[in-house]
Structure 1
Amino acid sequence: MWNARLVSSVVWGSVVSIVLCQSVNAARSQDYTPEQFVSVLNGLGYAVPLDARIDDPRVQQAIRDFQIQFRLPVDGTLNNPTQDRAADIVKTLQSALNRTLKPSPQLPATQFYGRQTEAAVKLFQQQNRLPATGIATLETRQRLNDILSDAEPRQPTNPANSPVTNPPRSQLTIYSEAQIKAILTGFGYDINPQASLSDPPTVRAIRDLQRIYGLSETGAIDRATEEKFSSVMRNLRNNLRVILRSNFAIAQYYDEATRTAVRQFQSRYGLRVNGIADLAVRSRIDTEARRPRG
């Protein structure tokens, strides 16, 4: 068994799947120990310290967010589907690094986020002018995915003679339209809060977030998109609570309390104070949430 890694942490919120041409065996080879699973969560960008116990509230919340993200049974435990999905993500990440890095690090397809995986992620980050933390942050995974996608032939987005269709109609089950638009505005998108979700700027904003978080880029709010928004918002608010040391509720809405907390964070860290958590601000919040606190 390898020792827990001592790394400074960064980014993210929420996990993005890497797209590969070849599938990776999803089943885990063995059960995770609590320490191994905490290391996976940390390595994939969740706001949990490596020395946290499995019953730590931050770890419990990260597990639930992971389960929501991947539409697994949500119980905050290391149930079999959760362990299998985590193993699949780590193996996929290792395979992507093997294909992208030159020379290839020849990572074994394991379910563990250990020193070799950390070193390969750090090397990839150095080669691509990203913060070299060894943690597979959102920005890192997106860049890795872009490189792999560029290496494969692409079909035209609108081939000749293909009709242009409107995005599928939204079927909201978690949020109201107003709540969706509040999240988009809170994330820095310039949309008309009075317009419908089919308004072109709103569709573009939704599509951009779907791209960032590895979802199908429909421009409409489907169940997976709502669940991702919920996971990202809960992670954001949990991070703000950790940083500000407040009783800030972990909820899934971008409300006035969220804006106030974001303003407090921006003021504390010398950022532009506007209450908007765009991608750069969310990344900074994730980074600060992971720093050791006395």
Structure 2
Amino acid sequence: MWCGFDKSRVTIALACMVAASVAASDVAFAARQRNYKPDEFRSVLRGLGYNVKVTKDPLTDEETKKAITQFQTGYKLKVDGKAGPQTQDQAAMIVEILQSNLNTVLKPKTLLPRDQFYSPQLEELVKEYQKQHQLSETGIADLQLRQKLNAEVQAIINERVTKPTAKPTTKPTATPTTKPTATPTATPTTKPTTKPTTKPTTKPTATPTATPTATPTATPEKIN
């Protein structure tokens, strides 16, 4: 992401941080971890489009001093051609924001770490972005590319702001009405009526009446 040269450094920083923080709202930009080594700072200058060769020599050659002076002038820093703390901080912030913006637009499988270094991974993703937009694949994120990338990120930000996330309407789950279970009415079991068994009436057996035998009467003998 690039911020215009006509703004103050504070405004530049705020504008960059706000845009980037919306694009990657869950990420806070870290402070510069440490001072750049000469080759690391040259890599940053070259990656941002300044005309320098990457070497490990001190940052005192005319080519490098000229690039640093141009950088300082563009970002309203103290112009002395030296890579002092403010100059290094500004460079680190630009690289971090560039990484964040590429993460937002390209969504690579391996995200850029959002650090201060213009690494080979960052260079490859810049080439990928250039390829997508039919630009020369140099791996250099110059001013024009950063402006284009910034516009894409801004469009994503605007879409997020204006497009409300549809809140899922809670579909009420129908409360089942308790279907009363029919209480079974007790079917009276027919009590068998006790059928009286006919008691046989005792048939009286006729008591035989004793037939009296005639008691013979003694017939008296005649006396001659």
Bin for the TM-score computed over the shorter chain: 0.5 to 0.7
1:46 to 7, 32, 50: 50
In the alignment, the residues of structure 2 paired with residue 109 and residue 22 of structure 1 have an alpha-carbon distance, to the nearest angstrom, of 12
Check the 8 A contact 1:26/1:85 in 2, yes or no.
no
Q: 1:52 offset after TM fit, Å?
A: 7.5
In the alignment, the residues of structure 1 paired with residue 50 and residue 2 of structure 2 have an alpha-carbon distance, to the nearest angstrom, of 11
2:151 to 133, 146, 153: 146
Aligned residues, how many? 141
Q: Which residue of 2 aligns with 1:16?
A: 2
**Using a 3 Å threshold, how does the CA distance of structure 1 residues 111 and 41 change in structure 2: closer, same or farther?**
same
1:137 to 131, 139, 142: 142
Check the 8 A contact 1:97/1:105 in 2, yes or no.
no
Check the 8 A contact 1:26/1:87 in 2, yes or no.
no
Q: Which residue of 1 aligns with 2:190?
A: none
**Using a 3 Å threshold, how does the CA distance of structure 1 residues 100 and 75 change in structure 2: closer, same or farther?**
same
Q: Which residue of 2 aligns with 1:35?
A: 39
Q: What letter corresponds to residue 31 of structure 1 in structure 2?
A: N
Q: Which residue of 2 aligns with 1:222?
A: none
1:81 to 80, 83, 86: 86
Q: 1:103 offset after TM fit, Å?
A: 3.5
**Using a 3 Å threshold, how does the CA distance of structure 1 residues 111 and 142 change in structure 2: closer, same or farther?**
same
Q: 1:104 offset after TM fit, Å?
A: 4.8
2:106 to 101, 120, 132: 101
**Using a 3 Å threshold, how does the CA distance of structure 1 residues 21 and 114 change in structure 2: closer, same or farther?**
closer
Between Structure 1 and Structure 2, the one with more helix by share is: 1
Q: What letter corresponds to residue 42 of structure 2 in structure 1?
A: V
Q: What letter corresponds to residue 112 of structure 2 in structure 1?
A: L
1:93-133: CA deviations, max 9, x gaps? Answer: 00000001044540001101010110111111111111111
Runs (5+) with no aligned partner, structure 2: 4-14, 23-27, 162-224
Larger Rg: 2
After TM superposition, the structure 1 = structure 2 runs for residues 202-213 of structure 1, keeping only pairs within 5 Å, are none
Check the 8 A contact 1:52/1:59 in 2, yes or no.
no
Q: 1:74 offset after TM fit, Å?
A: 1.4
Q: What letter corresponds to residue 151 of structure 2 in structure 1?
A: D
| Alignment TM-score, normalising by the size of structure 2 | 0.57
Runs (5+) with no aligned partner, structure 1: 1-14, 156-294
**Using a 3 Å threshold, how does the CA distance of structure 1 residues 130 and 104 change in structure 2: closer, same or farther?**
farther
SS of 2:86's equivalent in the other structure is helix
1:161-195: CA deviations, max 9, x gaps? Answer: xxxxxxxxxxxxxxxxxxxxxxxxxxxxxxxxxxx
1:113 to 110, 114, 118: 118
Q: 1:58 offset after TM fit, Å?
A: 1.2
Percent of residue pairs bearing the same amino acid type: 42
After TM superposition, the structure 1 = structure 2 runs for residues 178-193 of structure 1, keeping only pairs within 5 Å, are none
